[in-house]
């Protein structure tokens, strides 16, 4: 059975795209069939996968806007286990059209659930801010992972996503949407403050926080410029190990 996982947080720069990219690669390296979908007009995931979001012919935009669009027309295989549906800059226009024209927000859900492709995991990268693109991702998803930077504003993003999950469960046709977990990111092992924030997160949302903590590591930012993910570029680094541990937690259910 396919597990559709959206990675979301209204806060920007918390590691959403990095999480999709690295979890996607770790799961694919483990022999799982993985589809990554870029729903962010910034299209970092697409760029980090080596495509130019200004030149993408068919992107996730087509899936959102055209219900008859099939996955096979937008999907780009990366290797035997990993595929990407790229994002493009016109996703920003999609967001506006979807609101203006009162678009049904479940096209993505329908196309993913009715697809003849068999993926073990679909990982959806969402933009910062809780806008209509994030709603479309959450309507389509079974589970949500919320990356959270271990700093003072951490809980604000979590609360906003929790609130949105409740609304989508009750009013948008996806009652089974499940918060798979808050994933602490950018953890500074030398900061007592970071450790305090982490304790607070674990206390406030007990049972819904990954055991794994993703450490801060400059190699994460270097990797995409070398055309690699950190799990491939520096597999022995603590951050690569952490993403493998996080993937094990996801695999455990």
Binding site for Mg ion (CB under 5 A): 16-17, 44
CB of 41 or CB of 194, closer to Mg ion: 41
CB of 47 or CB of 69, closer to ligand ATP: 47
CB of 30 to Mg ion, least distance (A): 23
* Residue 15 binding target from Mg ion, ligand ATP, none, CB below 5 to 8 Å by type: ligand ATP
Cα gap 114→147, rounded to integer Å = 29
Tokens representing 38 are: 């870029």
24 near 36, Cβ under 8 Å?
A: yes
CB of 236 to Mg ion, least distance (A): 26
Q: Counting contacts by CB under 6 A, is residue 145 touching ligand ATP? A: no
Q: 38, 90, 143, 217: which one contacts ligand ATP (CB under 6 A)?
A: 217
* Residue 12 binding target from Mg ion, ligand ATP, none, CB below 5 to 8 Å by type: ligand ATP
CB of 110 to ligand ATP, least distance (A): 26
214 near 243, Cβ under 8 Å?
A: yes
75 near 35, Cβ under 8 Å?
A: yes
49 near 87, Cβ under 8 Å?
A: no
Cα gap 85→83, rounded to integer Å = 7
Q: Counting contacts by CB under 6 A, is residue 227 touching ligand ATP? A: no
Cα gap 249→251, rounded to integer Å = 5
CB of 104 to ligand ATP, least distance (A): 25
CB of 187 to ligand ATP, least distance (A): 8
CB of 179 or CB of 223, closer to ligand ATP: 223
CB of 16 or CB of 109, closer to Mg ion: 16
Q: Counting contacts by CB under 6 A, is residue 154 touching ligand ATP? A: no
| Per-residue interface string for the shown chain with ligand ATP, residues 5-24, x marking contact by CB under 6 A | -------xxxxxxx------
Q: Counting contacts by CB under 6 A, is residue 38 touching ligand ATP? A: no
Q: Counting contacts by CB under 6 A, is residue 44 touching ligand ATP? A: yes
CB of 38 to ligand ATP, least distance (A): 10
Q: 38, 40, 90, 143: which one contacts ligand ATP (CB under 6 A)?
A: 40
By CB under 6 A, name the binding residues for ligand ATP: 12-18, 40, 42, 44, 128, 185-186, 214, 216-217, 220-221, 239
């Amino acid at each position: 059975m396919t597990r559709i996982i959206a990675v979301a947080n209204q806060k920007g720069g918390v590691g959403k795209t990095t999480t999709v990219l690295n979890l996607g690669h770790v799961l694919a390296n483990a022999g799982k069939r993985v589809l990554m979908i870029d729903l962010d007009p910034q299209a970092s995931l697409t760029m980090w996968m080596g495509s130019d979001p200004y030149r993408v012919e068919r992107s996730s935009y087509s899936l959102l806007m055209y219900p008859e669009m099939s996955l096979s027309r937008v999907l780009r295989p990366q290797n035997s286990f990993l595929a990407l549906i790229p994002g493009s800059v016109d996703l920003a226009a999609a967001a506006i059209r979807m609101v203006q024209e009162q678009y049904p927000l479940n096209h993505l859900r329908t196309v993913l659930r009715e697809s003849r492709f068999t993926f073990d995991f679909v990982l959806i990268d969402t933009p910062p801010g809780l806008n209509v693109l994030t709603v479309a991702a959450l309507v389509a998803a079974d589970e949500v992972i919320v990356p959270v930077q271990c700093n003072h504003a951490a809980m604000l993003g979590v609360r906003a996503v929790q609130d949105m999950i409740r609304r989508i469960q009750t009013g948008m046709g996806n009652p089974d949407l499940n918060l798979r977990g808050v994933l602490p990111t950018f953890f500074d092992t030398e900061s007592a403050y970071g450790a305090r924030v982490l304790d607070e997160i674990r206390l406030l949302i007990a049972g819904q926080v990954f055991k794994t903590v993703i450490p801060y590591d400059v190699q994460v930012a270097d990797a995409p410029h070398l055309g690699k993910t950190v799990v491939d570029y520096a597999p022995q680094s603590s951050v690569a190990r952490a993403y493998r541990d996080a993937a094990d937690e996801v695999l455990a259910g």
